[in-house]
Amino acid sequence: MMLKVSKISATYGEGTVLRDVSLDVIKGRVTCLIGRNGAGKTTTAKAIMGLVATSGTSIKIDDKEVLNTPIYERARSGIGYVPQGRDIFPELTVKENLLLGLEAKNGKGLIPDYLFDVFPILKTFLNRKGGDLSGGQQQQLAIARVLVSEPKVLILDEPTEGIQPSIIKDIGRVIKSLKDDIAILIIEQYLEFVLDIADYCYVLENGRIEIEGETGVLDKDRLQAIMAL
């Protein structure tokens, strides 16, 4: 299972914000895309999902070309996407939010129990409105909801943003436990977290991939310098 992005560029109106970005997101390893504010990380996720004007060579899910297909087609091809921020339905309960994840895969099946083991707060607040959860709890709900749909490719945009350390650890544990079943792309700025979970990293600067490599061999001082500026 893999998502292969080849030389894509993206524009908002007149401005090109991504240039020739190529990424391999492969099952069996956690792939991270890092970069400072405004580097183009979210735009990369939006380009993969079809949410921004994109040109380039290809975006493939296994052998299927999705570059010029509409958003729903990409979702149907198995990409699960948790956007930056709190992407839940505030007026629906936790349970209803999770059931929407089932809708994404024909409404069949059950909410898997392991999600309540890793995110026990969701079980506690099953009947509470999503909008009444804390920001961190909403993030856990957003991740759980997309996992309910059993995606083949999982894209999380800044899952640790505004989240306390113990929950960040839980999220890291879930990601690692899923990497043999799902091709995972994590978009992050929190370097310590990235160095803990990533097997392979891409570094975006001004819309281009400037550095890439296995986490173990990357120059940590250079990464720190790029991210700290």
Ligand X SMILES: Nc1ncnc2c1ncn2[C@@H]1O[C@H](COP(=O)(O)OP(=O)(O)OP(=O)(O)O)[C@@H](O)[C@H]1O
Using rule CB under 5 A, residue 42 touches Mg ion: yes
Task: Please select the residue that binds ligand X; options are 39, 171, 191, 197, rule is CB under 6 A.
Answer: 39
CB 179 within 8 A of CB 29: yes
Task: Please select the residue that binds ligand X; options are 5, 31, 32, 35, rule is CB under 6 A.
Answer: 35
- The runs of H, that is alpha helices, within 179-217 are 191-197
Using rule CB under 6 A, residue 84 touches ligand X: yes
Q: For residues 176 and 171, what is the distance between their CA atoms, to the nearest angstrom?
A: 9
- The runs of H, that is alpha helices, within 71-218 are 71-76, 94-103, 114-118, 120-124, 135-148, 165-178, 191-197
Q: Which does 39 bind (CB under 5 to 8 A by kind): ligand X, Mg ion, none?
A: ligand X
Helix (H, G, I), strand (E, B) or coil at 229: coil
Give me the least distance between CB of 111 and Mg ion, in Å please.
29
Touching Mg ion, residues 66-95 (CB under 5 A) = 84
Q: For residues 102 and 180, what is the distance between their CA atoms, to the nearest angstrom?
A: 22
Touching ligand X, residues 125-184 (CB under 6 A) = none
Task: Please select the residue that binds ligand X; options are 89, 189, 196, 208, rule is CB under 6 A.
Answer: 189
**Taking CB positions, which residue lies at the least distance from Mg ion?**
42
Q: Which does 215 bind (CB under 5 to 8 A by kind): Mg ion, ligand X, none?
A: none
